[in-house]
Structure 1
Amino acid sequence: MPTPSPSKRLLASIHDVGPGFDRQVEQLCALLDLRLGGPRFAMLVVPDHWGQHPLRQDRPFQAKLRAWSDAGVEMFVHGWFHRDTAEHSGTASFKARHMTAGEGEFLGLDETTALARMTDGKALIEDIIGRPSAGFIAPAWLYGQGAQAALAKAGFALAEDHWKVWNPRGDAVLAKGPVITWASRSTVRTASSIAFAALARQTLSALRTVRIAVHPGDVRKDALLSSIDRTLRHFAKSHRPSAYAEIQEPGVDS
């Protein structure tokens, strides 16, 4: 098996981690652990997914988060509810309608509300895992002006969107390139995401940092799991499975 380049990194993450997706997260953990040679990935934790699965009240799942964190899994704050209840207009309306299924929670929040949810989520998750969180990633990777302003004040070391990873304290871009992810909510989106992953395997190998993100819904479709497995195996040959914390120096991929 080829040895990955020490200068190239593979950043993998499991989104929407919380009590409501316990079984699915366990399944994805097993797959990533196998293909990456250990717990060399991140989890994006939702404190109360859609207001139906409060992490604060689920002690068994808190214990799992602490154990994963102790094993080396990085923990990001991933919104609070994950659900978007704001009214949108203009560009934001297009993003809310076409880029996510009502889950862009931080797209329409004002700065005060966004900052409160960020800091509350940070406090909750850090109390559970007993160490600093890795950063903040908005649900669906969507940030409105209020969320962008709040990020500069929330004290997170890292943030991420579809196209980059950056330090919100000074806006230094730490990695560039599209995140490879999959969609399960419709046949058309599933097919297009599988096609994009195949294209990414052919075209993104030159990037210094490749990002792969999986979601609990992916486990419902064998075709998605097969594509995810193939993509992980492909990039693990050329890119070293790494922690997000390793890209803290600005200009790594610029």
Structure 2
Amino acid sequence: MTKRRLLLSLHDVGPRFETEVDRLVDHVSRHVAPDHLAMLVVPNHWGAHPLIAGSPFASRLRDWSDRGVSLFAHGWYHRDDSRHAGAASRFKARHMTAGEGEFLGLDHRTALQRMTDGRALIEDISGKPVAGFVAPAWLYGAPALAALGQAGFALAEDHMKVWSPQSGATLARGPVITWASRSRARIASSLAVARLLPPLLHFAPVVRIAVHPGDAHVPSLMRSIDDALRRVRRSHAPARYGDLLTAPPTPCAY
């Protein structure tokens, strides 16, 4: 019988956060081996930190890929420059991210272009197919969702699920355990949620944990990441996102 799965991802990987990525990789490796880690790669963070083929960071990215790390395309700029027309989109852009919901307001053509360009760059560097696509801040507008299927990605995820853009099938459900470091209030609330979710998700077939570069600068968040990984590991075995495509996880017991 397939075990319940833990999926661990490290967001915003790129030259902008090289030091923080190193700290987080060292930190989580005590719980999850690199071949069960996903890295979400930003090709040109905020237009100021391009990932360049042949650069030292690109070589490190290829080395991580060779060690079994799953690489996802994670937007292009990780910056939201769109003007949002609908009230719901304006609310998400203002309150759910610090101006980083890049794919929330993009038109179809631009979304598809950035997806395919990001995929091509990462695959050229790693020499392997990307595992999938995750929009910055897990936010997608309708045009971006339509573009996902055309871009040919095997997997995509938002805050509440993982799915196949090709078939439309939902492969895992449930909230991501993650942390916010932008303010004291967000730190406090994310610590509380991270403490609450592991027991609530104990019987879930898949539990997802996501860490971000900002976490590396807040000791309380780093301790919380340790605690969450330790507790989830009691009931869930580390797995790769791609495993969701090959075999269903253990059904929920309730």
TM bracket, shorter-chain basis: over 0.9
Please list the CA deviations of residues 199-249 of structure 1 after superposition, one character each: whole Å capped at 9, or x if unmatched: 012211110100000000001110000000110111112111000000015
Partner of 2:49: 53
In the alignment, residue 152 of structure 1 is paired with which amino acid?
Answer: G
In the alignment, residue 164 of structure 1 is paired with which amino acid?
Answer: K
Partner of 1:110: 107
In the alignment, residue 82 of structure 1 is paired with which amino acid?
Answer: H
In the alignment, residue 94 of structure 2 is paired with which amino acid?
Answer: R
Structure 1 Cα separation of the partners of residues 206 and 127 of structure 2: 28
Contact 2:34–2:69 (Cα < 8 Å) also in 1:
no
Structure 2 Cα separation of the partners of residues 37 and 251 of structure 1: 22
Contact 1:174–1:249 (Cα < 8 Å) also in 2:
no
Given candidates 73, 79, 86, the residue that maps to 2:75 is 79
Question: Which runs of structure 1 show a deviation greater than 2 angstroms over 4 or more consecutive aligned residues?
Answer: 249-254
TM-score when normalising by structure 1: 0.95
In the alignment, residue 105 of structure 2 is paired with which amino acid?
Answer: G
Structure 2 Cα separation of the partners of residues 19 and 37 of structure 1: 22
Please list the CA deviations of residues 183-213 of structure 1 after superposition, one character each: whole Å capped at 9, or x if unmatched: 0001001000000000012211110100000
Unmatched 5+ stretches in structure 2: none
Partner of 1:148: 145
Structure 2 Cα separation of the partners of residues 172 and 222 of structure 1: 38
Matched positions, count? 250
Partner of 1:128: 125
* Pairing 1:44–2:40 present: yes
Structure 2 Cα separation of the partners of residues 40 and 157 of structure 1: 17
Give the CA deviation at 1:170. 1.4
Partner of 2:9: 13
Contact 2:15–2:50 (Cα < 8 Å) also in 1:
yes
Give RMSD over aligned pairs: 1.5
Structure 2 Cα separation of the partners of residues 137 and 37 of structure 1: 21
Structure 2 Cα separation of the partners of residues 186 and 206 of structure 1: 32
Structure 1 Cα separation of the partners of residues 248 and 168 of structure 2: 12
Change in 2 beyond 3 A, CA 1:105/1:146: same
Contact 1:69–1:75 (Cα < 8 Å) also in 2:
yes
Give the CA deviation at 1:35. 1.1
Structure 2 Cα separation of the partners of residues 74 and 215 of structure 1: 16
Contact 1:162–1:178 (Cα < 8 Å) also in 2:
yes
Change in 2 beyond 3 A, CA 1:31/1:119: same
Structure 1 Cα separation of the partners of residues 247 and 98 of structure 2: 33
Partner of 1:241: 238
* Pairing 1:208–2:205 present: yes
In the alignment, residue 237 of structure 1 is paired with which amino acid?
Answer: R
In the alignment, residue 219 of structure 1 is paired with which amino acid?
Answer: A
* Pairing 1:175–2:197 present: no
Please list the CA deviations of residues 8-66 of structure 1 after superposition, one character each: whole Å capped at 9, or x if unmatched: 00000000000010010011111121111444210000000000100026700000000
TM-score when normalising by structure 2: 0.95
Unmatched 5+ stretches in structure 1: none
Contact 2:101–2:139 (Cα < 8 Å) also in 1:
yes
Change in 2 beyond 3 A, CA 1:247/1:10: same
Partner of 1:224: 221
Give the CA deviation at 1:125. 0.2
In the alignment, residue 150 of structure 1 is paired with which amino acid?
Answer: A
